[in-house]
Structure 1
Amino acid sequence: MQLRSLGVNTNSFLVFTLFLLLSANAKAAFVKVDGFDLEYEVAGAGKQIVVLEAGGSAGLDDWNSVFSSIAEQTKVIRYSRVGNGNSTAIKRHFTSMDYADHLSEFFLALGISKPVILVAHSYGGSVARDFAAKYSQQLNALLMLDPSSEHDIDILRAINLEQGNKEIAQIKLSDMANGMSNQYLDFWSKRPLPDYPKIKDMPVTVIASVCKVAEPSNLFFTDKGRTMWGEMWQSWAAEFPQGRSVLTVKSSHFIQNDEPTLVLRELKRLIKILDDNKQP
């Protein structure tokens, strides 16, 4: 998402470097989905299957910092959506629901017939929510890392309506200068704003970054914006009987890089819940 910080800390860099050394010989495979070639990688073994959904414009490398560690716990699959990574390049716009449809077909192409745990980052959270609403039978649990939200703009406008609208307009221009912004076209440009899709009762965890920024680039990164962001996801998660929210002040937007142990801990918790309930 364009509103987020892209910084990573020294520990994240070391973890990333170590992963590259350990997986230097690993090669992604490809599978046809809707006529496109999607790259993917499978590792590990276990009762539960974890699928990793990357952020906007990101490929499967979005998960370098945690992929091998997840594979030590259970079977894990990461892939690149069409237009990202080494998957088929495109020049057309895909919505989060289009990507959700592709994800369902991706599972079928790989012969995955049991429900999975979906772990999603940033814009991948929008894809994950659409997938959870439409393909609930293919999903056992959901873990989202600083997911994008159609209500991001509500935060800017609530803090200062006039300034917020100016910043939103500038974000749109910046997005278009760098190519299509799926997030903008998916929901920011629509009125009224679409709302969160209805998702079945299942274990759901959201980890949101509320890390304060010394020099905020816009209202979203002000202390007020950070507080409202955390409260929004706490409220959303609380609507689920099995919902859980975790706010962190130690991570920037890329929580899987800045705090991989936190991500692994919360994922392990979800796996235990499913195993204890004897869910496939």
Structure 2
Amino acid sequence: MVLNIYAQWHNNSINSLTAFAGTPTRRAASPLYPTCLRPLLKSYTPRRIKRLFRYILALIFSISFSALGQTKQIQVDDVSIEYLDFGKGKYTFVFESGVGMGVNYWDSFLPFADRLNSRVIIYSRAGNGSSSDSSKVSLERSLLRLEKLLFQLNAQDNLILVGHSFGGFHARNFAHNFVDRVSGLVLLDPSHELFQKELEAIDPEKAKNDNARLNSILKNQPEWQILQDIYTNNVLFPSQPTHNVPTVIVTSSQIGESDWWIGHSEKGKIAWRALHQELISNNSISTHIVTDKVGHNLPIQDPEFTFKAIKSVLELVEGVDFP
């Protein structure tokens, strides 16, 4: 409801502002735009005005959701965990971010989160966001901390794990270990344990050189080292929770996000898409969404599309269509 009103006001206000600052009209000056602004606005083209106005609206909109976005801290073992916890409903969505990312990675998505009509928990793993550091950083340690965090927050069943990128490993790992508590999985352009192996099959020398370049950039990020270990072992765990838990996977097929990494090449994207499809190849309650309209950071690039993809898991879990 709030978002519908916002959208209507947004369109009407942009039209009014553009007319006010552009060519003369018979419309009286709107009280929203004082006469003192007229010289400034007349120096802007309608296109620039729209951009400026959208920027202002984005700022206002982010402030309007500030109550939603107030993070808290909670002690879990040796780590002070940063988290958001809001909303209510039958299901609890738990968000896992990519390498080195925390709660604020999802800022663009927050205005849509309450439309899930569910409880939403977004947290920062140890060393990310405003969570404190820990000398013990691993998939297993993160799993145990998340389990304890959810216990303290009294969120222990009807869980839907949402994992973006490297966060997909954490979401799958939780579902693997606590399958009876997980109702669904949403994997947003998730990392895959066999991806580096597939890239080396395409072009061994380039794949290894590109990975070495990435290592030089991210060598001080503990979670990046975990990812490299997973690539080396070529395995996450023996059985795939994505084979029996209702699952939605979103794959970005956009080519050329970077101009040098083999993973963003046409052949790299074909391998990426095939690995994602394999995750749900034996799952009759699953959906694979492939798009070239957004890149890897889809929660930032297109939060509304991300919301629709996440919400679609409820159709699989409940077995009904949602408006």
TM-score by length of 1: 0.84
Deviations 1:57-91 (A, max 9, x none): 1111111122231213222111111111111123x
Report how many aligned residue pairs link the two structures: 262
Q: Which of 119, 124, 127 is the aligned partner of 1:75?
A: 119
Look up the match of 1:30: 73
Which region of structure 1 is more displaced relative to structure 2, 42-51 or 247-256? 42-51
Deviates more, 1:75-84 or 1:208-217: 208-217
Mapped pair 1:204 → 2:251: no
Distance change (3 Å), C-alpha of 1:49 and 1:215 = closer
Larger radius of gyration, structure 1 or 2?
Answer: 2
2:131 to 82, 87, 92: 87
Identity %: 23
Does the 8 Å contact 2:230/2:236 carry over to 1?
A: no
Pairs within 5 Å for 1:160-239? 160-176=203-219, 178-180=220-222, 181-188=224-231, 190=232, 192-198=233-239, 199=241, 201-213=244-256, 216-239=259-282
The answer for unaligned runs of 5 or more in structure 1 is: 1-9
What's the counterpart of residue 299 of structure 2?
256
Change (3 A) 1:95 1:196: same
| 1:94–1:212 Cα change, 3 Å | same
For 1:17-166, what aligned pairs fall within 5 Å after superposition? 17=59, 20-25=62-67, 26-72=69-115, 73-90=117-134, 92-166=135-209
Q: Equivalent residue of 2:175, what SS?
A: helix
Query: Could you list the per-position Cα deviations for residues 128-149 of structure 1 after superposition, in whole angstroms to 9, with x for gaps in the alignment?
Result: 1111111112211000111111
Query: Do 1:93 and 1:182's aligned partners in 2 also have CA atoms closer than 8 Å?
Result: no
Residue 156 to residue 104, structure 1, CA distance change in 2 (3 Å) = same
2: CA distance, partners of 1:117 / 1:144: 11
The answer for the alignment partner of 2:10 in structure 1 is: none
Runs of 4+ in structure 1 deviating by more than 4 angstroms, as ranges, are 13-19
**Distance in structure 1 (CA, Å) of the matches to 2:245 and 2:123:** 24
Counterpart residue identity of residue 83, structure 1: G
CA distance in 2, matches of 1:21, 1:34: 33
The TM-score with structure 2 as length reference comes to 0.74
Cα distance change, pair 16–62 in 1 and its aligned pair in 2 (3 A): farther
**CA distance in 2 between partners of 1:215 and 1:105 (Å):** 38
Q: Distance in 2 between matches of 1:98 and 1:173?
A: 25
- Larger RCO, structure (CA 8 Å, separation 6 or more): 1
Runs of at least 5 residues in structure 2 that lack an aligned partner in the other structure: 1-50
Distance in 2, matches of 1:250 and 1:104, equals: 35
Q: Structure 2: which amino acid aligns with 1:207?
A: V
C-alpha distance in 1 between matches for 2:249 and 2:197? 19
- Distance, in Å, in 2 between the alignment partners of 1:214 and 1:80 is 26
Question: SS in structure 1 opposite 2:149?
Answer: helix
Structure 1 residues 55 and 214: CA distance shift in structure 2, 3 A: closer
Q: RMSD across aligned C-alpha pairs, in angstroms?
A: 2.4
